[in-house]
A and B are shown apart, each in its own frame.
Chain A
Amino acid sequence: MAEQVFYEDIEAGSEIPALVKYPTTMQLVKYAGASGDFYQIHYDKDFALANGLPGVIVHGWLALSFLGQMLTDWLGEGGTLLKLNGSYRGMNLVHEDLICNGKVTKKYIEDGRNCVRVEIWAENPQGEKTVTGSAVVTLPSRG
């Protein structure tokens, strides 16, 4: 685990360490089982192609889970996640990199808590943003 990040350490513009995932059809099957989302576009290539998709596509929720992992890895034990959202703007295919990124847009104190607003996005290997969203987190003080 990385060292704890503190509120004082970050500013608007600070980048969150990127997380690169490589979803496979097997992972999508596992995710279907764990989440109960058995829509066939996520594991049945024939079905996906017949639906006009380029192939089996990653569940939006799974891509958002990766962004969540990037955030909670960064927050460590001392931080908390208050809000997480993502819009699914493009498709991530299986067997290619899914790159998670984040950048601090604002820091502020609210209700006595050190809040940080973060812009988050996922990219495919072509550099297209497939998920865009934001998160609000709290970080501990060095104090």
Chain B
Amino acid sequence: MSDEPVVSEELKSLLNIEFGPEVYEIEKGMVRKFAEAVDDPNPAWQQSAPPTFAAALVPAGLLHKLFNVRTPLTRLLNGASELEYFHPIRVGDVISVTAKLTRLRQMEGKEGPTLFMFTEVTYTNQRGEVAVKGKNTYIKY
């Protein structure tokens, strides 16, 4: 393990900066592919998105930064996910995704230093309504 800090200035500089919007057109084939991938044959997913579909609307700008920031911790796991639904995401919607890093927490885990990165993501539809809000915790160790 190097002496490099686990929480670098570069990482800290990302805190509470809003990334996006990244705009996703919700195509029928994309929803069908997701439902097939999770192996959920519910016919409702021909028109609207299954519960975890938001995971496919990636806030790539923020995640690319988080996963590639210089740190001595090289391994990554997903720690927790949380979704709150306000309006269904339907085929034909256009969803704008914005995201930010809200908190960093360093702990001493059983495999050495462990870093928790807390993110919040907002999914807004073409009518300006917040469709879904998400929170995710990523763990670097």
Contact = CB atoms under 8 A, between A and B. Distances in A.
B115 to A, nearest CB: 16
B76 interface: yes
Nearest to B51: A68
Given A52-B75, A73-B42, A60 B36 contact: no
B17 to A, nearest CB: 22
A5 interface: no
Contacts, number: 98
Contacts of B77: 60, 88
A84 B50 CA distance: 12
A88 B82 CA distance: 11
A37 B40 CA distance: 19
Interface in B30-61: 30, 33-34, 36-40, 42, 44, 50-52, 55-56, 58, 60
Q: Top 10 nearest A-B pairs by Cβ distance?
A: A68-B51, A34-B37, A85-B82, A60-B78, A65-B38, A30-B37, A87-B80, A65-B52, A34-B34, A31-B37
